[in-house]
A and B are shown apart, each in its own frame.
Chain A
Amino acid sequence: MSARVPGPVMVAAGCGGTGRELEPYLGPAGLDGLDFVTRSITLDARPGGPGPRLVEVPGGIVNAVGLPNPGLEHFLATELPWLVRAGARVIVSIAGATMGEYADLARRLSRAPGVAGLEVNVGAPDEVGVGLFEVREPYHSASVIAAVRREFPADRPVLAKLRPDVSRIVEGARSCHEAGATAVVVGNAVPAAFPDGRAGGLSGPAIAPIALRCVATVHQTVPEVPLIACGGVRDAASATAYLRAGASAVQVGTALLHDPTTLARLRADLETSHQEDP
């Protein structure tokens, strides 16, 4: 039994609030049937980093939000049931400091009702700074994926979210796929800095060409790896570029911060263009 790859339009981790804040902007269907990736959840609650957490730059934003989240227990008790009731297909993004933490998260989430899948955050732009498991080599991410896959039912997807670094992405995607990832998300925010030098991640339209290069390269080299594109998707054209390059789905992040109705529009547009395609 193999898991279905979600999509074609998904909410990117950390850019949809808890779901409730996005709902007013999703049109009559609301969250029903939407692939919603949560912000990264850790075992223990995290307050997140100090302000300013986001700074605007031409074509995007640099963020160092610091993974604020209520911890697994509170998430399971409050945010998850709400999302499930709203009809979302909930993909829980998980982040840990050790492989053991990732495995723990996966085991406990496998028993929680309504979890449609997991996305493993293994390519954060400043993972050391925020205290996450450090990924220097492709086998680091692959071993995390293997540990998660062992704990999570095979009929539900495990997505590996990687850094969009064209010099490493092919190896990363291949090894995560071999370790059991249903699909690879390309990718996270690009390592960057605030004007004062503080580490952060760049996202938004500025990074779309970077992630597109990574998606195209992975697809050409290892076409058997299902790909989900993420980075600067804001309209049908930017989404279609990824789908043409070999991605089977796209995630929308920063665009929602600029226009929270982006997702509703994109879902409608992509459905229309699918129908128009011969």
Chain B
Amino acid sequence: MAESRAPVHVTGEVVATKRIGGYRHLTLTAPGVPESFRAGNFVAVTVEGHVARRALWVHRVRASSAFGPTLDVVVETRGSGTAWLAAQPVGARVTITGPLGRPFALPKDPVSCLLVGEGYAAAPLFPLAERLRERGCQVSLLVSAPDEAHLLSALEARRSARSVTVLTADGSVGQRGTVADHVDDLLVRSNADVVYAAGPTAVIRAAAAAAERAGAWSQVAVEVPTPCGTGLCHGCPLPVVGEDGVDRVIRACTEGPVVRGDRVRWEAM
């Protein structure tokens, strides 16, 4: 890769905030971040009064808007940090580092791809779907959630995806069930050569296992709590098997968060 993609640490601003179901969608400026973003990157956000950073997937970037380049994140309130972030009004300043982490690797050929995501973690699959479609890949998308409130809208993705499947655990919208119940079937129907997965460990593990059964490649976006997000602290251990067959523990934030599904030592996570 010739172009420079070094992350930056900048002060950005909230330019839009919208509640959609159980999530808060924020649009932010962060000079230098949208410009070098690739699908699968995340950002680390500073929460006032807290030493550790909060990691968030980038859901979308706009190259230009009335505010210049922007990025969107989807926030699920978990504890004090995400609650603080979700409460930031338009105009609030937010310190952001990014883009961070290894993005999804794109296939060289226009192959068939199945994208599997659950909850807010499906966010990075939407920009990925656009990139794949630009490369002539056939994209099938599976979005799942515990319930309708935690389902990312796949409306816009219908432009990039040939087929969209919606799953909820409670059946409130789409088909009822979990990714593990449906992923093998979808893999066969989409005839996918590559599976991309993002979500809780159980979901991406199921997707990686299904890919292996079907002889497809898989790339999974793993969420290990990342205290700094930048690779400095070695605090986000991800157990993998290296390319050389040797067991290793890598930093999820730097050597990940996207890794090949068949390289993760799931039982050691």
Residues of A participating in the B interface, judged by any CB pair closer than 8 Å: 14-18, 20-25, 39, 47-54, 56, 59-61, 63, 65, 68, 204-205, 254, 256-261
Most buried by A among B50, B232, B236: B232
The answer to whether A258 touches B46, judged by C-beta atoms less than 8 angstroms apart, is yes
Also in contact, A257 and B224, with CB within 8 A (given A25-B9, A68-B237): no
Contact of B1 with A by CB under 8 A: no
B245 to chain A, nearest CB (A): 15
Q: Name the interface residues of B29-60: CB closer than 8 Å to any CB of A.
A: 46, 50-53
Also in contact, A51 and B52, with CB within 8 A (given A15-B233, A259-B46, A260-B230): no
Contact of B69 with A by CB under 8 A: no
Contacts of B225 in A (CB 8 A): 51-52
Q: Which of B232, B235, B237 contacts A21 (CB 8 A)?
A: B232
Contacts of B227 in A (CB 8 A): 53-54, 56, 61, 257
Contacts of B235 in A (CB 8 A): 51-54, 63, 65
Most buried by B among A65, A204, A254, A258: A258
The answer to whether B8 touches A24, judged by C-beta atoms less than 8 angstroms apart, is yes
B23 to chain A, nearest CB (A): 23
Q: How many residues of B contact A (CB 8 A)?
A: 27
The answer to whether A61 touches B51, judged by C-beta atoms less than 8 angstroms apart, is yes
Contact of B97 with A by CB under 8 A: yes
Can you pick out 19 interface pairs between chain A and chain B where the beta carbons lie within 8 Å of each other?
Answer: A14-B233, A17-B230, A17-B232, A23-B6, A25-B7, A47-B249, A48-B237, A48-B249, A53-B234, A53-B235, A53-B236, A53-B237, A56-B50, A65-B235, A257-B53, A257-B233, A258-B51, A259-B9, A259-B46
The answer to whether A68 touches B9, judged by C-beta atoms less than 8 angstroms apart, is no
Interface residues of chain A: helix, strand, loop or mixed (majority): loop
A73 to chain B, nearest CB (A): 14
Contact of B121 with A by CB under 8 A: no
Contacts of B9 in A (CB 8 A): 25, 259-261
B7 to chain A, nearest CB (A): 5
The answer to whether B236 touches A256, judged by C-beta atoms less than 8 angstroms apart, is no
Contacts of A260 in B (CB 8 A): 9, 97, 228, 230, 232
